[in-house]
Amino acid sequence: MKSSKLQNSFSKSDTWPEAFGFTIYGKGPTHIIKVVPGSVAAQSGLKAGDQILQVNSHDVSGWGDDDIISHVSKLSQHPPSLGVVSRIREVTLQPSPISNEFGFSLIGTFPVKIHQIKSESPSDEANLIRNDLVIKVRPSVCTYCAVVLNSSKLLCNVLDRLKYLDINL
């Protein structure tokens, strides 16, 4: 677990975590799903896919994002010290030579999650599971994704915004 102390000239009135350059999501556990390049969060070493385990040494590993934000708003120390662990796993998928599909569907807009996995598909063999978070989409994988999901408006929007495909397992 790494500890990240976000230090700068911020006050308690600043909106946490957005004012520090990151976004969190989760119903327990909670993950960092976006870090703004050059932000205090990025300079402190936080990365998309990190799971928040501690806030000021207090165990929050099973807490949802609303609970963590509420807890932080009551703290006197701003910004708080975070204990995080990376849960990122990068997965590169090739379409099935038989069906030319990856074997998964997506749901949501931000964050985007794996919705369904087809049995014995490339996604199943890569051990993707329902509700894994798609953090980034890598350009070299986009052409493969487009083969299966090119009619999906959702995927087109996701590909416009994201650059790497990292599946959080």
Structure tokens, 103: 């074997």
Q: Cα separation of 56 and 3, whole Å?
A: 9
For residue range 133-157, what is the model confidence (pLDDT) as tens digits?
A: 887 766 544 433 322 222 233 333 3
Q: Which of 93 and 143 is assigned the larger pLDDT?
A: 93
How far apart are the C-alpha atoms of 90 and 165, rounded to whole Å? 7
Q: What is the pLDDT of residue 86?
A: 83
Q: CB neighbours of 102 closer than 8 A, spacing ≥ 6?
A: 93, 95, 96, 121, 122, 123, 144, 145, 148
> Which residues, in sequence order, are bridge partners of residue 51?
31, 85
Beta bridge partners of 34: 23
Maximum mean pLDDT: which of 13-22, 60-69, 84-93, 113-122: 60-69
Residues paired with residue 89 on neighbouring β-strands, in sequence order: 167
* In the predicted structure, residue 98 carries a pLDDT above the cut 60: yes
pTM for the whole thing?
0.66
Q: How far apart are CA 109 and CA 106, in angstroms?
A: 9
How many whole angstroms separate alpha carbon 8 and alpha carbon 78? 9
Which pLDDT score, from 0 to 100, does residue 131 have?
82
Structure tokens at 52: 């928040």
What domains can be seen in the chain, in order of their start residue? 2-86 (2.30.42.10), 89-168 (2.30.42)
The pLDDT assigned to 112 comes to 81
- How is residue 143 written in tokens? 């052409």
Q: What is the pLDDT of residue 137?
A: 67
Kindly state the percentage of the chain with pLDDT values over 90. Answer: 30
| Most trustworthy range by pLDDT among 18-27, 75-84, 103-112 | 18-27
